[in-house]
Structure 1
Amino acid sequence: MSRTSQPFFNGAHSGVLPSYEILKEEQEVAVLGAPQSQAPVTTTVINIRSETSVPDHIVWSLFNTIFMNWCCLGFVAFAYSVKSRDRKMVGDVVGAQSYASTAKCLNIWALVLGLLLTIVFIIIFATGSLMIFQAVSQLIKDYGGY
């Protein structure tokens, strides 16, 4: 190796090209030359599929089908979840993501609609039973009992 000191980076305006040393390995490769074998070069391509996790929301869809199935949104979400799982098994990641996105949207709507309608029915039931209790007590008070 040369012991002369050279700047690592010469400025663009200096006009002097740096001198590079040829490494020993590069010299050996240059001496050996091209491969002597005339056999055809074969290449092997290995396709490695990345394990992209596509959630199919099948458990959520099953829950909505059993408990929050207002307007059959839970059942439709379950169908899309099954389609997403099928696409994932075939290897169609884009199709699986599309079906999973639709299933997620339907699950959200089924859950929100189911909770709202359940709360509304509880409020109606509570106020209805309170009104019936008041009406019965008013009737008893007006007619003085039996």
Structure 2
Amino acid sequence: MDNHSYNFPSDCTPLTNCKSARKLAGSTVVNLGNTGKNPPRDYLLWSLCNTFYVNFCCLGFMALIYSIKARDQKTLGNLQLAQECSDKAKWYNILAAGWNLLIPLLAIVLIVLLLVHLGSSRGSFDFLGEDGFQNFLKLFSW
């Protein structure tokens, strides 16, 4: 094996301490253009949660779309459009989270009110007594 096929200098072979082959490169500084302002948030995780849970009127899906747009624009460096998409994603997430909490709460309140009403009423609406199922069926019999 000769050293000429590996393109090494003639005074240096692999695995030896050759100083002519190693030249230290100067350091490189990358300026990221920090303006002192934080980049806009994209709310991606919140959007995913709203998309997979209930997703009333596709509000969570809309939030997910704007979250992805905000992340893409932030990556491209367009911080103004990223901020606009971030704001839209935040408001869609707020609306979706509000509906996601409101619908189950309304269902629980309606069930509790129905049980309280049925428990306090007497007569043919006595569904919670011993003959509750028979009384319920009597309502629909001819």
Band of TM-score, shorter chain: 0.5 to 0.7
Given that 1:68 and 1:111 are in contact with CA atoms closer than 8 Å, whether structure 2 keeps it comes out as no
Q: Which residues in structure 2 correspond to 1:27-66 (within 5 Å)?
A: 48-50=32-34, 52-66=38-52
Q: TM-score, normalised by structure 2?
A: 0.57
Query: In 2, distance between residues paired with 1:64 and 1:94?
Result: 25
For 2:96 and 2:51, how far apart are their aligned partners in 1?
9
Kept in 2: contact 1:84–1:99 (CA 8 A) = yes
Q: Within 5 Å, give how 1:48-127 maps onto structure 2.
A: 48-50=32-34, 52-127=38-113
Aligned residues with identical type, % of pairs: 32
Q: How many residues align?
A: 98
Structure 1 residues 26-71: Cα deviation after superposition (integer angstroms, max 9, x where no partner): xxxxxxxxxxxxxxxxxxxx96411732210001111111124111
Point out the more displaced range, 118-127 or 52-61: 118-127
Question: Contact 2:39–2:79 at 8 Å: present in 1 too?
Answer: no
Larger Rg: 1
Measured in 2, the distance between the counterparts of 1:129 and 1:69 equals: 28
The aligned residue for residue 136 of structure 1 is 127
Structure 2 spans left out of the alignment, 5+ residues: 1-29, 120-124, 136-142
Change (3 A) 1:140 1:91: same
What CA distance in whole angstroms lies between the structure 2 residues aligned with 1:76 and 1:127?
Answer: 34
Q: TM-score, normalised by structure 1?
A: 0.56
| 8 A contact 1:80–1:102 mirrored in 2 | yes
Q: Distance in 1 between matches of 2:65 and 2:105?
A: 27
Which amino acid letter does the alignment assign opposite residue 136 of structure 1? F
Aligned equivalents of 2:87 and 2:99: distance in 1?
18
After superposition, the C-alpha distances for 1:59-117 in whole angstroms (9 at most, x for unaligned) are 11111111241111111101110111111111111111100000001111111122112
User: What is the distance in 2 between the residues matched to 1:57 and 1:137?
Assistant: 47
